[in-house]
Amino acid sequence: MVSPTGKPEGTVFPPDLERLGIAPGAKIDIRKLGRMGERHNFHIYLYFEEDLARSSTLQEDLQEYSGAPILERPFVRLDTFLSFATESDPLFTRRLEEFPLVIEIVACGEIEVEGRGPTAYVKGLMPFLDELKMEDAP
């Protein structure tokens, strides 16, 4: 699967991402992953459907869902997700301390970003609700 930048999306990660602990199957707290993306200039896309995350490329998904509102797609950029969640629930950040969201890293690639050129991205899979640890929840 090749992106418009000519580099394939895949599960072989560049050494600079692997040094950060970002590799196929790695499970990383959503807050830590967001900080890494900001610090090291890569985008993170969160997928809500495992089959889609593993069987298609980000470019294919962006094309297929281009007509759908961003928040109604089966994937979203991490920064957009956190912004929406925080606006919807002002205590969301505090809840992440009690019930961390751990993202499974699936793939990486490059995407053409207007004004920036090729930009690295990582695809992560959101946990299913029944996988979240909520022992203390009523």
- Model's pTM, two decimal places? 0.85
Q: Give the pLDDT confidence score for residue 125 in this predicted structure.
A: 97
| Of 41-45, 74-78, 90-94, the least confident | 90-94
Mean pLDDT of 51-56: 93
SS3 category, 112: strand
First to last CA, the chain: 44
Give the pLDDT score at 8: 64
pLDDT digits (tens, 9 = 90+) for 83-114: 999 999 999 989 999 989 999 999 999 988 78
The whole-number pLDDT of residue 29 equals 96
Contact in structure between 45 and 109 (CB atoms under 8 Å):
no
- pLDDT of 3 strictly over 70: no
The C-alpha atoms of residue 135 and residue 130 are separated, in whole angstroms, by: 11
Residue ranges per domain, the chain? 15-127
Residue of 69, 88, 86 whose CA lies nearest to 34: 86
For residue 53, give every residue at least 6 positions away whose Cβ sits within 8 Å of its Cβ, in sequence order, or none: 47, 75, 106, 107, 123, 124, 125
Is pLDDT of 128 > 90? no
The single-letter code of the amino acid at 33 is: L
pLDDT mean over 17-36: 94
Count CB-CB contacts under 10 A for residue 75.
22
pLDDT, residue 112, reads: 85
Identify the band that residue 7 occupies on the pLDDT scale cut at 50, 70 and 90: low
